[in-house]
Amino acid sequence: MRIILIGYGVVGQSLTQIFTQRRAELIKNYGFHPRVVAIVDRRGAAVNPKGLNLEKTLSLKAERNTVAAHHERGHPGMSALNVIENVDAETIVEATPTNIKDGEPGLSHIKTALKTGKHVVTTNKGPLALALPVLTELANYNKAYLKFSGTVGGGTPVLDLAKRCLMGDRILSIRGILNGTTNYILTEMDGRHITFEEALNNAQKLGYAEANPSMDVDGLDAACKLVIMANWIMNKRVTLKDVSIQGIRNVTLQALKEAAKRDCTIKLIGSINEKLKVAPTEISKQDPLCVGGVLNAVTFVSEFAGEETIVGRGAGGMETASAILRDLLDIKQNLATRLMS
């Protein structure tokens, strides 16, 4: 499979590390030969229709901070859109930063790829939270696959559990802890009796929270994931504006203390019932959702199987890259089935 990789940061580099480390196993176990024909970062692209040497692109990125510095294959200033339109490939992997104002640059990358009949695997929540119903239609119209396992739960197969493992059943409602950063902060506040500001500061020192923590602490990241789950799992045609969102800035030590008297704690819970909501919510410490630290947990309530909860690390470069790999293998298998029918 020829792959164009857009975005060569933590996730993009982790994916190429997996490709280099697992090459023989991927071929032997899955008949999967990933050939990365282009990589694009902010400063340009490296392109080789025969497949780039990924050890080299990794060391170039580490030493020169751009793949465009490749002395034979580098194209400084070449944009992702130019690459998507002009380089032959079956699939693009889109891993540029999330932007929930207008979804760019990821939204244009995904639209252009789908319009040119390329399959898309993305970990970028912004375009999906703003325009998933439209993107799904575009993918169907162009007979292209649009996959996004890594957008919810990092490497933990949250979307697949609901969509595949519970196939045939009807999911009635979903609730979960969808953001590791806020879960870490609330766990610290509750366990060590420190204020929100102190816990946020610790999270920033440990690299769990960004310098601008708004996406996490104001509930926006969790809301994006909720939109993706509502569309994909429950066939609701919703976008970010349909979610009622409240973050954790106003959770107090007093409120946590009161909750503890009832053997409860406060977690940032995203829920899908009649409505979509993200809000700090009191839950029992015995609830399977009540996980600590940076863990994520999601409970699906389905008509026949009842309640199932999946728990795992919700982020991380390698974890998220493993979700991309699952999506790529899935596309490969679907294409093989298409050919046979």
Chain positions contacting ligand NAP, by CB under 6 A? 6-12, 40-43, 66, 80, 95-98, 105, 123-125, 150, 154, 315-317, 320
In the bound complex, which residue of the shown chain has the CB atom lying closest to ligand NAP?
9
Minimal distance, residue 237 CB to ligand NAP, in Å:
23
203 in Cβ contact with 211 (< 8 Å): no
Minimal distance, residue 61 CB to ligand NAP, in Å:
7
Contacts of 333 (CB under 8 A, 6+ apart): none
CA–CA–CA angle 82, 110, 295 (5° rounding): 130
Minimal distance, residue 166 CB to ligand NAP, in Å:
23
Burial of 283 (0-12, 13-18, 19+ CB in 10 A): middle
Minimal distance, residue 105 CB to ligand NAP, in Å:
4
* 232 vs 251 by CB, closer to ligand NAP: 232
* 312 vs 316 by CB, closer to ligand NAP: 316
* 245 vs 335 by CB, closer to ligand NAP: 245
Burial of 38 (0-12, 13-18, 19+ CB in 10 A): buried
For 133, the 3-state DSSP assignment is helix
Q: For residue 280, what are its two tokens?
A: 């700090």
Minimal distance, residue 261 CB to ligand NAP, in Å:
36
Active site residues: 225
- Phi, psi of 100, rounded to the nearest 5 degrees: -100, 10
Which of 2, 146, 1, 13 is closest to 87 using CA atoms? 2
* 26 vs 95 by CB, closer to ligand NAP: 95
* 112 vs 265 by CB, closer to ligand NAP: 112
127 in Cβ contact with 107 (< 8 Å): yes
